[in-house]
Chain A
Amino acid sequence: MAEKIVEEGPVTAEGKEKLRLLTVVRGETLRNRDIYERPPKYELFFPNFVMKELCVGLAFLIIIFMWAYFKDSPLYELSDPAETPSHIKAAWYFVGLQEMLAYFDPYLAGVIIPSMILAGLYLIPFIDPDPVKGIGRFAFKERKFAIGCFLGGVAMWYGLLLVGWFFRGPYWSFYWPWEDHSVVKATEVALWSFPLPAGIAFLVCYGMLVLILPAVIFQNFFFRLGLIRYLITFNLFAVMCFVPIKILLRSAFSVKYILVTPWFNI
């Protein structure tokens, strides 16, 4: 039987207030659920969870067996150090790095940038200023900057990989998928580099822009991070954003290097 409970509220300056109706309790016996403590949102790790994972594994086992039965893994002709093929491609998961070689010197594409990526990944737990936000769920709105940077990086890695795999032909020239790879493309257009002062000016301006501007615009963010974490975060951010900038300069404006020095080029 339902019973309406309306109590008189405390006396305030405006006079007596009435409390809202909070709930209607049905006068029946309590059900099992209310008596026994049972974690309703949890299941046993073993056997429930493990069995489910195993089922997914078995499904993939079938897929792999079918795949292995119908499609042979590639094996090309015996290696020949004397003959460089016109069409060298690394394993598909490294084609992103190989694609970067088209825009950067090998020390940047193969060593510095991958090292920065890995350093950034290792540092993530220590440069994230918030210890609790969004654990265990997809909180895109609350972690816009973190998730934006991460997904931006992932998109760039796989974007370069796709370009390298599908749009590159002999001698790493750009081919549209419908173009014939046997037609050798004309040699590269003449590239030019920034003169030294312009290069230094460009890099200094870029550094100032990425390192100082966010601190001025998002002051709360800056104080929440603290100076050291802020500098680490935005140095990594600057490197990440530099990759598409250089790619754009190279492919749209034929810029070979931004900075040319006797020791290294950027």
Chain B
Amino acid sequence: MKWVPLGLVRYTVCLGGLSVFFFLLCILTGPFLMLYYVPDVNRAHADVMDIMQVVPFGAFVRNVHRWSACLMIVCVPAHMTRVFLQAAYKPPRQLNWLVGITLLILTYLMCFTGYMLPWDQEAYWGATIGATMAENSPFLGAKGPFSVLPPDKDIHYIMLGGTVLDQPTLSRFFFAHCIAIPGALAGLMGFHFFNIHRAGGMSGPL
């Protein structure tokens, strides 16, 4: 039997659980969106339009997906703040803090890649800002300080699959959003929870 400190379900300690909950909602709604969405630059926008207007419950499912992602990106940093304020990163929980920061990064990447998929103006130019930042990386980007790589080999090219946002970009963002990042997130989340028990339970009065 596992015992946890009483009174943990308060405003602050639910944040981790809620992050998982919103993640699960996204995982549940995502595949339904995938049924109607094709990651093709000529079709993507029209497909999302169809989801919003033609597909039965399409708009509802996409809204749930979008708004739970929004709430997840609120909850994850808030959970991190709670963990820091309650010093729950101190021994024996350091490893879980490291995993948690990785989960935070993955959550942001998840949102960044998903934001791009509808291929509308906002998505296109929003992703362009991100791409410009990558292009300006020191050493690794072609336009950044101390650049050593040519424009067709730098980190910007790897990220976009080309020098501008086009079909290869959409394909790799789709793969990242639907397979790579959620897989990594789910695996690391499992480890995150397993580690709570391994590292002596939830932080409470010790």
Residues in A lying within 8 Å of B, measured CB to CB: 39-46, 49, 52-53, 56-57, 60-61, 64-65, 67-69, 71-81, 83-85, 88-91, 93-94, 97-98, 101, 105-107, 109-112, 118, 121-122, 124-126, 128, 130-140, 143, 146-147, 150-151, 154, 263-264
Contact = CB atoms under 8 A, between A and B. Distances in A.
Contacts of B90: 125, 128, 130-133, 135
B134 interface: yes
B31 interface: no
Contacts, number: 216
Contacts of A121: 80, 101, 104
A72 B59 contact: yes
| Chain B residues touching A, majority SS | helix
A44 B4 CA distance: 6
A49 B206 contact: no
B118 interface: yes
Nearest to A121: B101
A44 to B, nearest CB: 6
B42 to A, nearest CB: 10
A74 to B, nearest CB: 7
Interface residues of B, number: 80
B18 A73 contact: no
Given A52-B9, A80-B121, A135-B86, A75 B52 contact: yes
A91 B136 contact: no
Q: Which residue, of A42, A75, A78, A97, has the highest number of chain B Cβ atoms within 10 A?
A: A75
Interface in B1-36: 1-6, 8-9, 14, 17-18, 21-22, 25
Given A73-B66, A79-B120, A263-B146, A135 B8 contact: no
30 contacts: A40-B6, A57-B17, A64-B67, A68-B60, A75-B118, A75-B120, A76-B120, A76-B121, A76-B122, A76-B123, A79-B119, A79-B123, A79-B124, A80-B124, A85-B125, A88-B126, A88-B129, A107-B136, A110-B134, A121-B101, A125-B90, A125-B94, A126-B94, A128-B90, A130-B90, A135-B86, A135-B203, A136-B204, A154-B81, A264-B145
Interface string B36-66: 0000000001001100100000011011111
